[in-house]
Structure 1
Amino acid sequence: MGSTKEPDFIISSITDASAVEKHLPSLRVLLQHCVNDEPEISSIGFLAPLTDHAATSYWLDLLSSSVIGPGATTSLLIATAPGSDQVVATVQLARMAKETHAYKGEVRKLMVHPDYRRHGLGRRMMDEVERVAREQFGLEMLVLDTSKETPARWFYLRTGWNEWGICPDYAKSSSGVKHDCSFFCKSLV
């Protein structure tokens, strides 16, 4: 039985305005797929249908306010498709501003384009965000939350995250229905 080679995705950080310009169209499309395709299981902060304008505005606001520049508090990692500039996955790492919380970060909005799921890309993105948190920022702990009713919960459980609590009716899916939310943490030391 032959083995199938997984696609060779390129994972990098968005660090300057030219990268934003280059990747903005595929960032918009990725966000729209993750919100609009399955709104009953999507829980990343937007109601469906997410318009072109709203998706583009989200990325421009995020990138200009917290990702690029000397005061950047969020790292945006992207994965591009083999031989392409198309963004097929993203994940964000937000660092905490308070001195007493500076040892930890929050993982936000892991998104994988539907056409590229089931290739290990989500796991690779999480491995990379953990590496960046530990090696570039010296973080000791990461936290995240996700709707209890989504496949994401099972993904985090399988990838070594510790579920420490569930809050009833904390999250809304993109369809507008309230769901319980699972809270996770992971030690990096």
Structure 2
Amino acid sequence: MGSKNEPAFVLSSVADISTVEKHLPSLRALLQHCINDEPDISSLGFLAPLADHTADSYWLELMSTVTGPHATTTLLIATPTGSDKIVATVQLARMPKETHTFKGEVRKLMVHPDYRRHGLGKCMMDEVERVAREEFALEMLLLDTSKETPAREFYLKTGWTEWGICPNYAKSSSGVKHDCCFFVKDLV
């Protein structure tokens, strides 16, 4: 994904609201592409067409869980080397209950359509797993996705175990109910 000397993408963690404010146009565009371009296979919790103000509000409201002493979410972003444009994100949500602190949930892996099928999604998942294991000592990760999306095959190919399917669990961005697949990955 780049020359031997220079990576094609820079992966980093968002630590403050100013970073989100700075990158809000590219975060908005990323979310809108993932929702609006293929609403029949998008399953990120929004209906198409996703308006600018709704996308902006999502990113700004997310920051209340990302920053501060009681942060429970880590937001990872990817930018092409030499660019400020965010082309991929993934979130790691940690469980606040004492009996659940050993596990986390991967949420909203998004890769801009122009950057798909080049290994960036796998890099994002490798990084979120590394952060979960090394920075938070998590032992297990969970995630869910629509049964009808390409994401299901992606997770199966990257070592996740599908442990169940719930019929009509959620709606796609087009508003159609779909089955949801639940995945787990042990980190120990």
For normalisation by structure 2, the TM-score amounts to 0.96
Q: What secondary structure, in the 3-state scheme, does the structure 2 residue paired with 1:145 have?
A: strand
Which deviations, in whole Å up to 9, do the C-alpha atoms of 1:139-177 show, x marking residues without a partner?
Answer: 000000000000000000000000000000002100000
Kindly report the root-mean-square deviation, in angstroms, between the aligned alpha carbons of the 2 structures: 1.4
Q: Does 1:140 find its partner at 2:147?
A: no
Q: What is the DSSP-based 3-state SS (H/G/I as helix, E as strand, rest coil) of the residue aligned with 1:87?
A: coil
1:1-189 alignment runs, 5 A limit: 8-63=8-63, 65-189=64-188
- CA change 1:38–1:98 in 2 (3 A) is same
Q: How far off is 1:22 after superposition?
A: 1.4
Closer, same or farther: CA 4–73 of 1 in aligned 2, 3 Å? closer
The secondary structure found in structure 1 opposite 2:92 is: strand
Q: Tell me if the contact between 2:17 and 2:60 (Cα under 8 Å) persists in the aligned partners.
A: no
Task: Give the letter aligned to residue 33 of structure 1.
Answer: H
Residue 17 of structure 1 and its aligned partner are, at CA, apart by: 2.1
Unaligned runs of 5+ in 1: none
Letter in 2 for 1:140: E
Taking a change above 3 Å as real, the CA distance of residues 69 and 17 of structure 1, as seen in their structure-2 partners, is same
What is the deviation of 1:104? Answer: 0.0
Distance 1:24 1:14 in 2: 12
Report the Cα offset of residue 83 of structure 1. Answer: 1.3
Deviations for 1:33-90, whole angstroms, at most 9, x for unmatched residues? 0000000000000000000000000000001x20011111000000002210000000
Tell me which amino acid in the other structure corresponds to 1:91: V
Percent of aligned pairs with the same residue? 77
Mapped to 2, the partners of 1:46 and 1:21 lie a distance apart of 21
Number of aligned pairs?
Answer: 186
Relative to structure 1, is the Cα distance of residues 117 and 5 closer, same or farther in structure 2, using a 3 angstrom cutoff? farther
1:90-143 CA deviation, whole Å, 9 max, x = no partner?
000000010000000000000000000011000000000000000000000000
1:16 deviation in Å?
A: 1.2
Q: What is the CA distance between 1:4 and its match in structure 2?
A: 8.2
In structure 2, what residue type is equivalent to 1:188? Answer: L
1:41 partner amino acid: I
Q: How far did 1:5 drift?
A: 5.4
Q: Distance in 2 between the 1:62 and 1:183 partners?
A: 23
Which runs of structure 1 show a deviation greater than 6 angstroms over 4 or more consecutive aligned residues?
Answer: none
Q: What is the SS of the residue equivalent to 2:68?
A: coil
Q: Tell me by how many angstroms 1:23 deviates.
A: 1.1
Amino acid aligned to 2:122: R
SS at match of 1:163: strand
Query: Which stretch shows the higher mean deviation, 7-16 or 53-62?
Result: 7-16
Secondary structure, in 3 states, of the residue corresponding to 1:70?
Answer: coil
CA distance in 1, matches of 2:36, 2:83: 24
